[in-house]
Amino acid sequence: MLYALCSMLYARRGVRFCWLPVCLTLFTLLLHGRSASSATNYPFPGNNGQTGLWDMPNARVMPDWNARLNFAYQDPYRYWSGTVGLFDRFEFNGRLTEITSLDPGFPGQRTFRDKAIDLKFLLFKEREWLPATALGFTDITGTGLFSSRYLAFSKRINYLDLTLGIGQGILAGKIPSGDAEDFHFSNPLNQDTRVFGGLEFHITDDLSFVGEYSSYDYENLRGNTKAKWPVNFGFKYRFAEYFLASVSYQKGEELSFSLGITFPFDPELLLPWKKRPFYTTPEKVRLDALEAENAVLAYLVADQVSMLGLRNVRAAARQDAIWVEFVNNRYTSNQKAMGRVARIVDQTVPPRIEWFYLALVRDGIIIYTWKVHRSLFNAFLEWRLDDGAIWENSEHFSGGDKLWHEFMARPDTPKLEKAPRGQRKFSVHISPRVAALVNDPSGFFKGALFLDTSADYQPWKGGLFTGTYRISLLNNISSSVGALEPCPVRSDFVDYLSDSNPQVTVLAFDQIFELPKDVLGRAAIGAFERMYMGVGGELFRYFGDGKFGVGLESEYVKKRDLDSQFEAVEGCPGFYTAFLNLYYHVWPSQGIDAGLKIGRFLAGDEGVRIDVRRTFKYFTLGAWYTATDTSDFTSSFNKGYNDKGIYFSFPLSIFFDSDVAGRFSYVLRPWTRDPGSIVMQPRSLYPFMDEGNPVRMKQHIPEIRW
């Protein structure tokens, strides 16, 4: 392979350069190179961000639940990319390609930019005599300027990783005509096909030499790039575990480089968590609890549990059992909180207490209850009982009615005692908010930084008064694309986002009800978001121990005026929605959920929205796609448009050296148009209010020991 590569370099277009020293050097490295197992597990990116050689892909994919951010410069291209690996089989790559040699045609911009999504699927993993085989698609939606599809084979032989593949689209030297969808759904037998190949030689665990024969027709690519020969080669290096860098000589024309970072999705990421000892109940408290009556015992337990920093702790005791409920505002894991609470209860209560009832509370409503025998809990802590056994031999319920009635169904009717600390009905949060427009016609990047002061008051069980006051710290958002309809529901969002005046974005009351037959209800009134105010209602119920869910939802809202925040926009009618909500745990062990929202959306368009996400190791990555009847819209930009986007959420614990509660969430969408729009609500029972879902809790049973 090295000889063939050197021969191509020498023969291509009469290059007059002696490549013999290069070939001899590579041959020497091949004989003396070191093992590079980590290079196989965490493969390097190509120029466009997807795992590959330089311009050519290979059959390697990112490991499951790992991400990579990468920047590469290859004149006249600049690639900004983000890549995620799933199940050691799938790789998703989103990228923004800047072409510095093209005029974008928009005022205020000097560089042409194109967004793309790439997918790769590992059909067959590498075996002893068989190569890894991957099927890939690049630039799968939109303009399709860089669309291709390919079949790649990669085989590792000691320190050498060889790749051979066949490609169509730009990998066959052609810019597909029409949109990306037209190309990717076309007959492969009617498309030109070319062969590409290359190698990676792993000099060390972190340093690799990479060379490739490219099937691109560089001079016909968008951007009119030049090439002396279709061969690229250079070095890729990994340093400080997470960081990547590369330098290469490409097309016989210029040096190129890239920088990147690879990291796993793990709540303990940037800073290793300090090991903190378990809280131990003081000896005096234990002695007091030995002879305490039920009311005093409940007070002592609630007091000790609150020492963990948990809020709104309450407890009740009877002759042989104790009930403890709490809000987990302290830990990323609810099961970890359950385990810590159970440890304290076990240390505090006298031997007569045999049963623990532990209830997780949110917004004053019990969302999950666990009943476990004291001896089983101790056997689990001491590793005499495995995860499956502790789950099967204890009881778990979404909500708390059934176990609470069971606990209370005794002559010695207990009373809930509050902890003396951690009781909170009113809370204030100050947090920054970031909004951005990327690659808008008005400019490549327009952003805003807001400071939101939010206040919440819970006057009674399930009730919530909430308000948010926003101050703009920095805001240069504007857009040359205005409203698309006479009375748009979303396409004029920039008018609201660009408003730098202080504003009340939320001022509402929301009530959650516990209804018969384990049904949850919710009703809300007020200003739900900066654009809308009105009323909303929702019903939801889980089935199959939380694996399925069915609900109904509806809102009636009016658009808030920009100048007078609590008056409706003149001339715009009220908008209403009506949905059937369906929820399903598709693959519980891998944290994959799916939801369907079927009905009437905000602009009156009827259709369906599918939402799929994965929540694993406390990171969430999801996407939605909406298909509705757009025939009643007047704008050509709205007609036929299907709303779509992706979102992610991660625990704030990645920034700390210990476990902390709290999450950061963000949404990305290609553009905000009017079809498929919904109204934000202060709270939601659907689609994924499964924080206390037994199916989800089961996946985290081992964390009870943490």
How open is the CA angle 642-647-652, to the nearest 5 degrees? 170
pLDDT category, 442, cuts 50, 70, 90? confident
User: In the prediction, which pLDDT does 565 show?
Assistant: 87
Report if pTM > 0.75. Answer: yes
Q: Give the separation between CA 308 and CA 311, rounded to whole angstroms.
A: 9
pLDDT category, 106, cuts 50, 70, 90? low
The mean pLDDT value of the chain amounts to 88
Q: What is the pLDDT of residues 570-622, one digit of tens each?
A: 989 999 999 999 999 999 889 899 999 999 999 999 999 999 999 999 999 99
Cβ atoms < 10 Å from Cβ of 116? 24
pLDDT category, 6, cuts 50, 70, 90? very low
Between helix 294-306 and helix 283-290 the angle, nearest 10°, is 160
Q: Is the pLDDT of residue 162 over 80?
A: yes
Q: Give the separation between CA 15 and CA 228, rounded to whole angstroms.
A: 8
User: In the prediction, which pLDDT does 409 show?
Assistant: 81
User: In the prediction, which pLDDT does 690 show?
Assistant: 60
Q: Give the separation between CA 283 and CA 347, rounded to whole angstroms.
A: 9
What residue spans of 537-659 are helical by DSSP H? none
Q: Give the separation between CA 159 and CA 32, rounded to whole angstroms.
A: 9
Q: Give the separation between CA 395 and CA 357, rounded to whole angstroms.
A: 9
Q: Give the separation between CA 334 and CA 342, rounded to whole angstroms.
A: 12
User: In the prediction, which pLDDT does 38 show?
Assistant: 41
Do 426-695 and 2-264 fall under one CATH topology? yes
User: In the prediction, which pLDDT does 21 show?
Assistant: 37
Is 59 within 8 Å of 163 (Cβ atoms)? yes
pLDDT category, 509, cuts 50, 70, 90? very high
By C-alpha distance, which of 637, 682, 644 is closest to 488? 637
Find the mean pLDDT for residues 447-473.
95
Poorest-confidence range of 28-37, 182-191, 566-575, 622-631?
A: 28-37
Give whole-number Cα distances, 356 to 285, 288, 541, 688, 702, in Å: 19, 19, 26, 28, 18
Q: Is the pLDDT of residue 464 over 70?
A: yes
Q: Give the separation between CA 213 and CA 209, rounded to whole angstroms.
A: 14
Q: Give the separation between CA 101 and CA 118, rounded to whole angstroms.
A: 23
User: In the prediction, which pLDDT does 436 show?
Assistant: 87
Q: Is the pLDDT of residue 286 over 50?
A: yes
pLDDT category, 111, cuts 50, 70, 90? confident
Read off φ and ψ for residue 523, nearest 5 degrees: -135, 140
- Note the CATH number of domain 426-695: 2.40.160
User: In the prediction, which pLDDT does 398 show?
Assistant: 82
**What is the DSSP code (8-state) at residue 298?**
H
Give the domain ranges of the chain.
2-264, 283-423, 426-695
pLDDT above 70 as % of the chain: 92
Structure token pair of residue 487? 């009375």
Q: Give the separation between CA 418 and CA 313, rounded to whole angstroms.
A: 6
Q: What is the largest CA-CA distance in the chain?
A: 99
Q: What is the pLDDT of residues 653-691, one digit of tens each?
A: 998 888 888 888 899 888 789 999 999 999 998 865 567
Q: Is the pLDDT of residue 121 over 60?
A: yes
User: In the prediction, which pLDDT does 100 show?
Assistant: 84
Q: Give the separation between CA 347 and CA 75, rounded to whole angstroms.
A: 67
By C-alpha distance, which of 228, 335, 348 is closest to 298? 348
Between helix 2-11 and helix 20-32 the angle, nearest 10°, is 160
Structure token pair of residue 501? 């005046």
User: In the prediction, which pLDDT does 149 show?
Assistant: 95
Poorest-confidence range of 207-211, 526-530, 641-645?
A: 641-645
Kindly state the helix (H) or strand (E) to which residue 403 belongs, with its residue range: helix 401-408
**In a 10 Å sphere around its CB, with 0-12 CB exposed, 13-18 middle and 19+ buried, how is residue 631 labelled?**
exposed
By C-alpha distance, which of 352, 458, 368 is closest to 404? 368
Q: Is the pLDDT of residue 40 over 50?
A: no
Find the mean pLDDT for residues 618-627.
94
Is 143 within 8 Å of 179 (Cβ atoms)? yes
DSSP line for 590-608: GTEEEEEEEEE-TTS-EEE
Q: Is the pLDDT of residue 354 over 60?
A: yes
Between helix 334-348 and helix 283-290 the angle, nearest 10°, is 70
Give whole-number Cα distances, 531 to 420, 568, 569, in Å: 42, 10, 10
pLDDT category, 23, cuts 50, 70, 90? very low
Query: Can the peptide bond before residue 411 be classed as cis, meaning omega within 30 degrees of 0?
Result: no
Q: What is the pLDDT of residues 60-91, one digit of tens each?
A: 999 999 999 999 999 889 999 999 999 999 99
Q: Is the pLDDT of residue 13 over 50?
A: no
Find the mean pLDDT for residues 181-188.
88
Q: Which CATH superfamily is domain 2-264 in?
A: monomeric porin ompg (2.40.160.40)
Q: What is the pLDDT of residues 198-226, one digit of tens each?
A: 999 999 989 999 999 999 998 888 876 77
DSSP3 helix / strand / coil % (the chain, rounded to 5):
20, 45, 40
User: In the prediction, which pLDDT does 93 show?
Assistant: 95
Give whole-number Cα distances, 85 to 43, 398, 645, in Å: 11, 32, 18
Residues pairing with 369 in the sheet: 359, 397
pLDDT category, 480, cuts 50, 70, 90? low
Find the mean pLDDT for residues 344-351.
96
CA 232 to chain centre: 35
pLDDT category, 524, cuts 50, 70, 90? very high
Is 524 within 8 Å of 681 (Cβ atoms)? yes
Residue 3 DSSP SS3 = helix
**In a 10 Å sphere around its CB, with 0-12 CB exposed, 13-18 middle and 19+ buried, how is residue 546 labelled?**
buried
User: In the prediction, which pLDDT does 336 show?
Assistant: 92
Is 121 within 8 Å of 135 (Cβ atoms)? yes
User: In the prediction, which pLDDT does 109 show?
Assistant: 58
| Cβ contacts of 216 within 8 Å, gap of 6 or more | 55, 170, 171, 173, 227, 230
Q: Give the separation between CA 627 and CA 649, rounded to whole angstroms.
A: 25
pLDDT category, 315, cuts 50, 70, 90? very high
| Cβ contacts of 55 within 8 Å, gap of 6 or more | 46, 47, 48, 74, 212, 214, 216, 232, 250
DSSP line for 97-147: EEETTS---STT--SEEEEEEEEEEEEE---SSS-EEEEEEES-STT-TT-
Residue 42 DSSP SS3 = coil
User: In the prediction, which pLDDT does 36 show?
Assistant: 35
Is 118 within 8 Å of 85 (Cβ atoms)? no
Structure token pair of residue 674? 């009017």
Poorest-confidence range of 113-117, 195-199, 673-677?
A: 113-117
Residue 22 DSSP SS3 = helix
Q: Give the separation between CA 138 and CA 116, rounded to whole angstroms.
A: 8
